Amino acid sequence: MTAHHPDATEAPAEIRSNVPGSFARGVLTRRHPALIRQVRDAIPLGPRQHRALDRLEADVARDEITPLDDAADDHSIWNDWAQGYYGQSWLDAPFLWAESYFYRKLLAATGYFESGPWRGVDIFAPSKQAELHSKDVDAELRALDELPRQAERERERGEVLLQSSLWGNQADLGFAASSNAPAEQRRDERLVVDDRTRLWDLLAAGTPGTIAVLADNVGRELIPDLVLIDHLLRHHAERVVLYVKPYPYYVSDATAPDTFEHLRRLAAAPGEAGAVGQRLWSALATGPLEIRAHSFFCAPLEFNRMPADLHDELAECALTILKGDLNYRRLVGDRAWDPVTPFERTTAYFPSPVAALRTLKSDVIVGMAPERLDELEASGSDWRTSGTHALVQLHGVTERQLLG
């Protein structure tokens, strides 16, 4: 049995990529250079953009962080966030900061923020389009016709939709290459924390006001997320606010244009998928559904640093449903927590009750039962980072809060 220290007073240090053989190191030294090659192959860039990508590749290879070199309005805020990191090693900077900055440098290289033909061009669009129009998404849409529709089976329908939204997070384009989830093993056995029953019981206990959904990836994740949102609007929420990214991020993270395209795909589909899409389309037009894209969702910071305006928006919500691995890292803190550290300890700051739906694709984990942790550690599998395992974790949701 591992000695656990869940009540350590100080939060552990932020994860860095300077540990040889660590997951974080592999992301910065292997995944990021591969991503630059993928962008060059996917988009017909000009010589200026290729030269800028050459410089980014060289920065990574030389292990030196250099300032942003595009003409963009966010340099002052990035200079504040980069305090002390310019000229330093990527591997020695906090992993969360370094990864986020890498994606901002990638957009700088292709001219995303500058005037000219490349302004606002999503360099991840080819892979996002392929995902949205994939046979897997076709199958997802057809499967909706098999959903229970009888009112008395609403909870059963909700369970199916929650599972689809949760495991849809596995389909991360930046991740697909190394995902080795054993399809045959039952999904429930691969949950490391399972608060689903509490979530449904509490949602069923009353009709909460607004539910915030912090989106993650497009395609096989955003389609189920949208279908789940339709279910929440029909049975559990007066309003849903879907927060997407203000610009392209982490390859497959959803932006507003991506979301509109997914809604078009749903609404144009036959059967139940089309009905869901048309209800969501109407909900957007009349108000119960709103899409927002706060700049903080592309910031290199933990959520406990969120600005006051976003804090106040979320404080109005009866529940925040937070999707994916990166959002989880930002929620609990991208740190080497003792995995039995109570989830509530790391989320006490959050302005609303929060439910995390995440497949595990990085080392951070809290809120585990010691026996479950020891069982997984003894398995010898890479359960923390391979995307084979997942969690539904809930904090601060009480009947009083949901009932208002």
Ligand X SMILES: O=P(O)(O)OC[C@@]1(O)O[C@H](CO)[C@@H](O)[C@@H]1O
Kind plus residue range of the DSSP H or E element containing 269: none
Q: Which is nearer to ligand X, 71 or 130 (CB)?
A: 130
DSSP sequence for 33-50:
HHHHHHHHHHS---HHHH
Place of tokens 């959903």: 147
Which residues have CB under 8 Å from 327's CB, separation 6+? Answer: 214, 216, 303, 356, 358
Q: Which is nearer to ligand X, 22 or 207 (CB)?
A: 22
Residue type, 87: G
Give min distance, CB of 32 to ligand X, in A: 8
Q: Which is nearer to ligand X, 31 or 55 (CB)?
A: 31
Give min distance, CB of 254 to ligand X, in A: 10
Give min distance, CB of 350 to ligand X, in A: 17
Q: Which is nearer to ligand X, 169 or 352 (CB)?
A: 169
Which tokens in the block code for residue 216? 């993650």
Q: Which is nearer to ligand X, 288 or 339 (CB)?
A: 339
Give min distance, CB of 340 to ligand X, in A: 21
Which residues have CB under 8 Å from 239's CB, separation 6+? Answer: 209, 210, 211, 233, 287, 288, 289, 290
Applying CB under 6 A, which residues contact ligand X? 27, 31, 99, 169, 172, 174-175, 216-217, 250, 324-326, 329, 361-362
Q: Which is nearer to ligand X, 251 or 373 (CB)?
A: 251
User: How far apart (Å, rounded) are the C-alpha atoms in residues 303 and 292?
Assistant: 17
Closest of 39, 202, 16 to residue 106, by C-alpha: 39
Angle between helix 154-168 and helix 196-205 axes, rounded to 10 deg: 130
Give min distance, CB of 115 to ligand X, in A: 30
Give min distance, CB of 266 to ligand X, in A: 21
